[in-house]
Structure 1
Amino acid sequence: MLDASALVLYFPGPKTVTGEDVLELHVHGGPAIVKAVLSAIPKCSSQSTSLGAIRYAEPGEFTRRAFINDRLDLTQVEALGDTLAATTEQQRRLSVRGTRSGLAKRYESWRHQLLYARGELEALIDFSEDQHFDESPSELCSSVSKQVESLIGLLRVHSQNAVRGELLRNGIGIALLGAPNAGKSSLLNQIVGREAAIVSQEAGTTRDVVEVGLDLGGYFCRLGDTAGLRKAKQEALATGDPAAIIGEIEKEGMRRAKLRAAESDAVVVVLSFEPTSQGEVKLHLDEEVISTAAELVRERKNVVVAVNKSDMVSIEMLEDSVNQVLAALLGLDKGRIHTISCRLAETTAPGPQTDNASTSNIQSFLQGLIQHFSELTSAIAPDSESPGSADPSIWQDSLGATERHRLLLENAIRYLEAFIDEVEIPASMQEEREADIVVAAEHLRGAADCLAKITGRGEGGDVEEVLGVVFEKFCVGK
């Protein structure tokens, strides 16, 4: 007797998770019971010749069997891996979309479209001398070329959505950029809800990038606090003020800050109100910060501005500061500028906030940031007039495409572009050469093989290697 109240369930195939006969042992989870059951199973195998050898499953073996028996397609297998790894709500939704989507059917439809076009071209090669075709070789190439151009457009949109899906899967990289003592570290601590970065009145306490991972509104984010950016003031240098000198360590910190901003998916530029030598309070627009932020805006980076220390000024000055930012960062949308006060957030009692003129506005800022994340990860749809774009669910499903899918899609696009280059000869060169149908057909074969590797079906040359890589990512017994 190993467990007095165990449960044994038998599921006959093929309507099981693997498509095979399945026997499940449900026992209590105590380590001693589990160890005793695992020790007893090999003894059952040795005493009964009908059972055969019983062994531990290889990593991903049950999932591989489900794939072989057509219970799952390869895109669903990868989505299952995402389900097991999901830690945020958006990651969970992405994985569910992948397991229920028709990605594999869409890829197979495109592959069969290419196989059919390739078959037409190869028939032209093999039987053009003794068979009559309804279309001339040039007409056939033109017809196939139009289909391929349409498919290239669909594949490109699919690939772009795969990039957006990767943001949900791997996390959205965010860089906090600003001048020393603007409040970047304070804002980081407010967002993560703990003291992740050192906060001090002394400027320049952050030298290297401080990165924190967190769940923000269901989105996994990688938030990086960077060293402050500043430009040395010539008048201060002339007086020998040591604080005006930018040393080698600070220069390296600034270089890393700019690099992190360039590599991030979104950048939060932190500005602040500061007292002047005349006793006034003005919006501090450091030349180095503004020039870096302006360059990011021109490069169409997702830039959001947080104007900190709003508790130091009136509402009128807050409104004026927004106009100053818009003038300094041409092309930035007004809805991407938020006024906040980290100091008020630190002194406000915990609990639901009702942001108004006298509160920190941190909650409003975070809601705005989450809205930007939604825009950043929403599916792109092709031109509504494009063939194959009528069903919008196709493009929502394409967010579930993985990095592996994207790379293969881009390879397929390159093959199809090479096909276009081969068959569409400029009028000025038509007398010098004609399309090589054999080479053109090979380009279609290469594109079809790329799609076959995505689904794990068809005649893709390295499909078995692809399957091995995918299934090895699963834990033992899944």
Structure 2
Amino acid sequence: MIPTIFAPATAPGRGGVAIVRVSGPDAATALTSLGGRPLPEPRAAAVVRLSDPRDGEFLDQGLALWFPAPRSFTGEDVVEFHVHGGRAVVAGLIDALASLPGFRIAEPGEFSRRGFENGKFDLTAAEAIADLVDAETSAQRRQALRQMEGDLGRLYEDWRHRLMRGLAHLEADIDFPDEDLPDGVADQVRPVLEALIGELSAHLNDKHRGERLRDGIHIAIVGAPNAGKSSLLNALARREAAIVSERAGTTRDVVETHLDLGGYPVVLADTAGLREAADEIESEGIRRALDRAARADLKLAVFDAVTLPDLDAKTLAIVDDDTLVVLNKCDRAAVTLEVIGGRPVLAVSAVTGQGLPELLSALTAAVITRFEAPGVPALTRARHRTALEECRAALQRALLAPLPELAAEDVRIGIRALGRITGRVDVEDLLDVIFRDFCIGK
């Protein structure tokens, strides 16, 4: 027997309205038992007076919506109760639902899992629902919506169907060699595989753009001690995120703060000053600073304008095409520079705010240039990348296979790898991993 599940679909806490969702074969019973009335018209809100079916205690007056299968989020019969958002109201409603035979509280992600299992959407769309719930910036929202609407799933399914057609040609050539088949049937598969390998490679060679957008774009602030890195972090974050002191070496560890730049999520990190370490603790801080700089998507290389024309050699050594050069303390400098390390200079004062709007504009433009989505939907998860790499490797082996039987087997492996992304093959072992991170009610 399939149990009927229920859970709050809105966040816990005090609010004007709370939604409790019910899904399963006995969902209609929830409405008739608690609401004491016939089912309303599908997808039309109806006023209901909710009472505990055990003793008739009045719980709340609210709205109920009825979504008969299969036209619901889960593909099952679904009821939604829209009630007042007090904790006691929701708790009373949950307790009353739990008393009904065959009803139980939903596991995290169970509503979405049932929707997937009932063919309402594929796994990429299910993952996008979780991303949309977690989205904190407009760029994250746009990426999640695009994936939820099926752009990514359609791309992978197109590749899978093309491979299936190619596999059919290979197997026809293997199984029916004496039949009156056109010449060169198997040879027609080679250009299909070569084209798909090229498309897979282009999709994979994206500098992890979609994954970065989900998790946050990392920007490291690096420079010599007392260059004003911590002051710059605080100025950009508009709060006291890092300790500021005239004493060199105050920052020993990486200090992070989160920003929204042009709708893109950014993790901005202040790091220890680059110099010869005075002790093992500072040495570790410098090692972490260099490691963060090496792994960052962008760097802010901060130089002290007061020390001009001298430039810190350690900071200069890390300037590259992914670096914005910042000349701090320009309000106290007698001279300035327009280019450092072949990169244009952004002159700022973290104390007075001079040049900070221009720095933010340049930083936002650099983020958008690197992470703005082109026409093809972005690859958003490590599991997608692993499966796509497995598919590409299988197709490359198929091109080199000495026998058509071996080539066909490698193409089958590639098809299964693509199918695991969308759920078009047996992915039972993946479902718990994918859905367990969903919130309750989704």
TM-score by length of 2: 0.82
Structure 1 gap segments, 5+ residues each: 46-52, 232-244, 276-281, 346-359, 381-391, 423-434
Distance 1:271 1:142, change over 3 A: farther
Q: Distance in 2 between matches of 1:291 and 1:4?
A: 67
Provide the residue aligned with 1:353 in structure 2: none
Provide the residue aligned with 1:465 in structure 2: 429
RMSD across aligned positions (CA): 2.0
* Worse overlay, 85-94 or 467-476: 467-476
Provide the residue aligned with 2:181 in structure 1: 133
Residue 6 in structure 1 maps to residue 62 in structure 2: yes
Q: Distance in 1 between matches of 2:325 and 2:283?
A: 23
Structure 2 gap segments, 5+ residues each: 1-56
Query: One-letter code of the match for 2:127?
Result: E
SS in 2 for 1:342: coil
More helix per residue: 1
SS in 2 for 1:284: coil
Distance 1:283 1:185, change over 3 A: farther
Q: Distance in 1 between matches of 2:351 and 2:219?
A: 22
User: Map of 1:8-407 to 2, 5 A cutoff?
Assistant: 8-45=64-101, 53-128=102-177, 130-136=178-184, 140-161=185-206, 163-230=208-275, 246-275=278-307, 282-293=308-319, 297=320, 302-313=322-333, 317-318=335-336, 321-323=337-339, 325=340, 329-330=341-342, 332=343, 334=344, 337-345=345-353, 360-379=354-373, 392=375, 395=376, 398-399=377-378, 401-407=380-386
Q: Distance in 2 between matches of 1:119 and 1:312?
A: 73
* Worse overlay, 215-224 or 143-152: 215-224
Does structure 1 retain, via aligned residues, the 8 Å contact 2:214–2:380?
no
Distance 1:415 1:344, change over 3 A: same
Does structure 2 retain, via aligned residues, the 8 Å contact 1:163–1:406?
no
Give per-residue Cα distances to partners, 1:194-241, cap 9 Å, x unaligned: 11112122222112222222323322211111111136xxxxxxxxxx
Q: Distance in 2 between matches of 1:252 and 1:322?
A: 33
SS in 1 for 2:226: coil
Query: One-letter code of the match for 1:6?
Result: G
Q: Distance in 1 between matches of 2:373 and 2:133?
A: 23
More strand per residue: 2
SS in 2 for 1:180: coil
TM-score by length of 1: 0.76
Distance apart, 1:366 and its partner CA: 0.6
Does structure 2 retain, via aligned residues, the 8 Å contact 1:161–1:379?
no
Distance apart, 1:246 and its partner CA: 4.0
Distance apart, 1:119 and its partner CA: 1.6
Distance apart, 1:11 and its partner CA: 2.1
SS in 1 for 2:205: helix
Does structure 2 retain, via aligned residues, the 8 Å contact 1:95–1:400?
no
Distance apart, 1:141 and its partner CA: 4.5
Does structure 1 retain, via aligned residues, the 8 Å contact 2:274–2:286?
yes
Distance 1:4 1:62, change over 3 A: closer
Provide the residue aligned with 1:441 in structure 2: 408
Distance apart, 1:66 and its partner CA: 1.5
Does structure 2 retain, via aligned residues, the 8 Å contact 1:214–1:221?
yes
Distance apart, 1:475 and its partner CA: 2.0
Q: Distance in 2 between matches of 1:453 and 1:104?
A: 11
Q: Distance in 2 between matches of 1:161 and 1:291?
A: 26
Does structure 1 retain, via aligned residues, the 8 Å contact 2:60–2:83?
no
Distance apart, 1:42 and its partner CA: 4.1
Distance 1:306 1:7, change over 3 A: same
SS in 1 for 2:111: helix
Does structure 1 retain, via aligned residues, the 8 Å contact 2:169–2:186?
no
Does structure 2 retain, via aligned residues, the 8 Å contact 1:162–1:402?
no
Distance apart, 1:372 and its partner CA: 0.5
Counting aligned pairs with the same residue, the percent is: 42
Distance 1:59 1:162, change over 3 A: farther
